Amino acid sequence: MSQDEGLNDAAILLMSMGEDEASEVFKHLSPKEVQKLGEAIAKTRVVPKEKVEMVVEKFIGVAASQSLLVSDSGDYVRNVLKRALGDDKAALLIDRILQGGDVSGIESLKWMDPLSVAELLRNEHPQIVAAILVHVDYDQAAALFRTCRRNGETVRKLIDCLIASVAIRSNAPVLHADADFAVLARHTALTTHERSAA
Tell me which residue of 4, 31, 21 sits closest to 60, measured CA to CA: 21
Supply the mean pLDDT for the chain. Answer: 76
Across 16-30, 65-79, 83-97, the highest mean pLDDT is recorded for 16-30
pLDDT band (50, 70, 90) for residue 73: low
Residue-level pLDDT at 154: 92
| CATH assignment at residue 151 | 3.40.50.1010
Region 184-188: mean pLDDT is 93
| CATH assignment at residue 27 | 1.10.220
Region 62-87: mean pLDDT is 63
Q: Which of 107, 125, 144 is the last residue of a domain?
A: 107
State whether residue 194 is helix, strand or coil: strand
Inter-residue contact 17 to 67 (CB < 8 Å):
no
In a shared domain, residues 9 and 102: yes
pLDDT in tens, 24-65: 888 888 777 888 888 888 888 788 888 877 877 776 543 334
- Number of Cβ within 10 Å of residue 131's Cβ equals 12
Distance separating alpha carbons of residues 28 and 91, to the nearest angstrom: 18
147 Cβ contact list (under 8 Å, min separation 6): 187, 188
Residue-level pLDDT at 174: 93
In a shared domain, residues 38 and 126: no
In a shared domain, residues 82 and 119: no
In a shared domain, residues 38 and 92: yes
Q: What are the beta bridge partners of residue 194? A: 176
Residue 190 in this model has a pLDDT that exceeds 70: yes
Distance separating alpha carbons of residues 136 and 108, to the nearest angstrom: 9
Residue-level pLDDT at 160: 86
In a shared domain, residues 52 and 33: yes
Distance separating alpha carbons of residues 67 and 126, to the nearest angstrom: 53
Inter-residue contact 9 to 58 (CB < 8 Å):
yes
Residue-level pLDDT at 42: 85
- Domains of the chain: total: 2
Residue-level pLDDT at 66: 42
Residue-level pLDDT at 63: 35
Distance separating alpha carbons of residues 167 and 131, to the nearest angstrom: 14
From first CA to last CA, the distance across the chain in angstroms is 71
Distance separating alpha carbons of residues 53 and 186, to the nearest angstrom: 56
Print the domain residue range for 157.
114-194
Q: Which of 107, 140, 175 is the last residue of a domain?
A: 107
Region 83-103: mean pLDDT is 64
What number of CA atoms fall less than 13 Å from residue 117's CA on the CB side? 24
pLDDT in tens, 103-152: 556 666 666 655 666 667 677 777 776 666 666 667 777 888 888 899 99
Tell me which residue of 3, 138, 142, 10 sits closest to 80, measured CA to CA: 10
